[in-house]
Amino acid sequence: MDNAVQLTGLSQPEMISFVETMGEPAYRGRQLFAALQHRRLRSFDEITDLPKDLRARLNEMAKAATLKIESQYTSGDGTRRYLMKTHDGLPVETVFIPEERRDTICFSSQSGCPLQCTFCLTAQLGLLRSLTAGEIVEQIHIALNNAYGTGVKTPRGTNLVAMGAGEPLLNLDQLLKALRVMADPQGLHIVPNRVTVSTAGVVPRILDLAKTSDRPHLAISLAAATDELRNELMPINKRWPPEDLLSACKVFEKTLKPGERLTFEYVMLDGVNDSDEQARQLANLLNRHDIRSKVNLIPHNPADPLPYRPSSDQTVERFKNILESKGIHTYVRRPRGRDIFAACGQLAARQTTLSNRIESSLVGANN
């Protein structure tokens, strides 16, 4: 990108400072912030309440939007997956999941991912680069505009989950900046309490997050309760093994609000981590650390060329019962958007071609 300032990553005070450097009064900054963040407009020419000459100057020195939708897929269950491209041609994936009470948007924090979880397709891309705060915010704008129309008030609230491509805690500064921009009541007004960040277990950043007053909820991807198996499934474990990870979670627990629980995500891989014994090991690990938490069991989402299959429904149920018998709050997450490769661990910038349930279209106008 040229030297144009990417405005979607600016907070309202930063937007005001920016317009003041252009010789404009502060209220123009507030207008611009509301146009970009509340009405989700994606070009200066659409902001017709700004004077024409100001719009022309903005076009010369700033960008209202940088991501472009490359392709879009809609699942039979209503889930939508967007494959976007950054200004420098890197893939970014975002998933919109309509739900009865609130929609959920699963966004990416990095293009690709440096971690090498063996059950995840994104891992195969490696890290392309971390996303800027503006690129994180834009994913939400694009998903909402596509689902409801530009500037249209959403009929339901929105939850956000940082569970798309990338390890969010390896891009913590930009992530927190984006969340602060999105929390502004004059903008999207999605408060941190509506946001869950999922980590593979970057222990120092978990401790940093614990010190952050306006932090989102935290989920930890465990996938195994023993050192040996977790080393195999999630190599980050060699750096921060379960005991270190759980000790950091214990520190984080002190910051939990009433009613809030830490979430442990456990992907269920057939014949790999789903035995009765492994359920008991998981329960023992969590009980030993006695953390106010819950476990989400996530049936694996099969994707070639990953060498895993999902656990059967009966196995998942039995695993859940064992955890519950040991006092662990346990839930089974329903997979969404499997047919369009939109589910957890499946985001790898792939162009979906099969399945006549998929509506695939090149979108150019709305991005």
Residues designated catalytic: 93, 344
Phi then psi for residue 191, to 5 deg, are -80, 160
State the minimum distance, in angstroms, from the CB of residue 23 to ligand SF4.
44
Q: Are 162 and 197 in contact (CB under 8 A)?
A: yes
What's the closest the beta carbon of residue 170 comes to ligand SF4, in angstroms? Answer: 9
Which distant-in-sequence residues (6+ apart) come within 8 Å of 6 by Cβ?
A: 62, 63, 66, 132, 134, 135
CA distance 253 to 189: 26
Is the Cβ of residue 113 or residue 160 nearer to ligand SF4 in the bound state?
A: 113
Minimum distance, C-beta of residue 119 to ligand SF4, in the bound complex (Å): 7
User: Considering only residues 223-262, where is the footprint of ligand SF4 by CB under 6 A?
Assistant: none
Indicate the SS3 state at residue 20.
helix
In the complex with ligand SF4, the residue whose CB is nearer, 98 or 114, is: 114
Q: Toward ligand SF4, which CB reaches closer, 97 or 120?
A: 120
Report the largest interatomic distance among the alpha carbons of the chain, rounded to a whole angstrom.
69
Report the residue from 37, 122, 174, 301 that binds ligand SF4 according to the rule CB under 6 A: 122
Which range of residues in 10-18, 50-58, 120-128, 271-279 is near ligand SF4 by CB under 6 A? 120-128
Please provide residue 318's backbone torsions phi and psi, each rounded to the nearest 5 degrees.
-65, -40
CB of 190 to ligand SF4, least distance (A): 22
Query: Within its chain, how far is the Cα of 353 from the centroid?
Result: 24
- Reference 205, options 169, 239, 259; nearest CA is 169
* Alpha-carbon span 5 to 241, nearest angstrom: 41
Site for ligand SF4 in 133-172 (CB under 6 A): 165-167
The pattern of x and - marking residues 316 through 355 that bind ligand SF4 according to CB under 6 A reads: -----------------------------x----------
What is the Cα–Cα distance from 85 to 266, expressed in whole angstroms?
A: 30
Using rule CB under 6 A, residue 200 touches ligand SF4: yes
Of 65 and 249, the one with the shorter C-beta distance to ligand SF4 is 249
Helices 12-21/26-33 angle, 10° precision: 130
Please say whether the beta carbons of 221 and 234 come within 8 A.
Answer: yes
Shortest CB 4 distance to ligand SF4, Å = 30
Q: Closest approach of Cβ 60 to ligand SF4, in Å?
A: 38
Within 99-118, which residues bind ligand SF4 (CB under 6 A)? 113, 115, 117
- Please identify, using beta-carbon distances, which residue of 83 and 120 lies nearer to ligand SF4: 120
CB-nearer residue toward ligand SF4: 122 or 130: 122
Angle between helices 242-253 and 276-289 (to 10 degrees): 50
Which one of 54, 64, 83, 123 is in contact with ligand SF4 (CB under 6 A)? 123
Strand, coil or helix: 186: coil
Burial (0-12, 13-18, 19+ Cβ within 10 Å), 242: buried
Vertex 31 angle, CA 30 and 35, to 5°: 115
Residues that bind ligand SF4 (rule: CB under 6 A) add up to a total of: 11
Tell me which residues touch ligand SF4 (CB under 6 A). 113, 115, 117, 120, 122-123, 165-167, 200, 345
